[in-house]
Structure 1
Amino acid sequence: MLVRSLDEIKGTERDVEGGNWNSRRLLLAGDKMGFSLHDTILREGTTTPIHYQNHLEAVYCIEGHATVELVPSGEKFEIKPGTVYALDKNDKHLLTAHVDTRMVCVFNPPVVGNEVHDENGVYPAATDS
């Protein structure tokens, strides 16, 4: 059994700084769960272009307020505590934090560790770990 606390993650290699966000990676590919689990803070006033071409992601908001805008359709969704959204079609989107916003994110396949978005908002393809 794995038991890990957020306090253990903070300040380690699992505490990944992404500019507009900070992702504390509770479970990674090396944990052999088949998914990764992240506690992520989006910074107030930021907009992050994201296009997970190599991963599916589900996101559950636990604090704050954000908007997800699908690209290119422009369709927008308000994200508040208690809201989940799932990028089930590798949806290209813009994620805007209206205040500091805390999300719990699940990735399949799992991320390996210190991935950050490239210039197109993509995480690299998963590798075996």
Structure 2
Amino acid sequence: MIVRHLKEAQATDRRVVDPKGNWESTRLLLKDDGMGFSFHMTTIYAGKSFRMHYVNHLESVYCVRGKGNIKTLDDNVVYEIAPGTVYALDKHDEHILTAETELELACVFNPPVTGREVHNADGAYELEE
């Protein structure tokens, strides 16, 4: 059994801060945990807006706190995000995420990440073997 506590994990290298200053993420479950997915608690800072395109991963996101929106770039549809909202990037959707207020998000990635990933120039996490 794996048991971790968010506050404890935030004080370790499981807490990753975006070098561009948009977000921070504490990775509670990673590839090495052998679950087949990774689980992160991510904070998007208020007022931040940035493009992502997870070409190597599928992601599901549940909003715990805050207000924002996600715009899918293939059709320019904007979806509001508020507590209780879940969205799944089931088609590797290229998108822009905007945090009107600070967003606290629970995120699941498949395949799992290894832990130190940040977005590359295309807005994706690299796939590590």
Instruction: Give the TM-score normalised by structure 1.
Output: 0.96
Q: Deviations over 1:61-110 (max 9, x none)?
A: 00001100011321000000000000000000000000001000000000
Superposed counterparts of 1:16-95, under 5 Å? 16-18=16-18, 19-95=21-97
Distance 1:89 1:100 in 2: 26
Unpaired runs of 5+ residues, structure 1, are none
Residue in 1 that maps onto 2:105: 103
Give the SS at the match of 1:8. Answer: helix
Unpaired runs of 5+ residues, structure 2, are none
Distance 1:82 1:121 in 2: 25
Counting aligned pairs with the same residue, the percent is: 50
Query: What stretches of structure 1 move > 2 A for 4+ residues in a row?
Result: none
2:32 alignment partner AA: G
Distance 2:11 2:36 in 1: 25
Instruction: Give the TM-score normalised by structure 2.
Output: 0.96
RMSD: 0.7
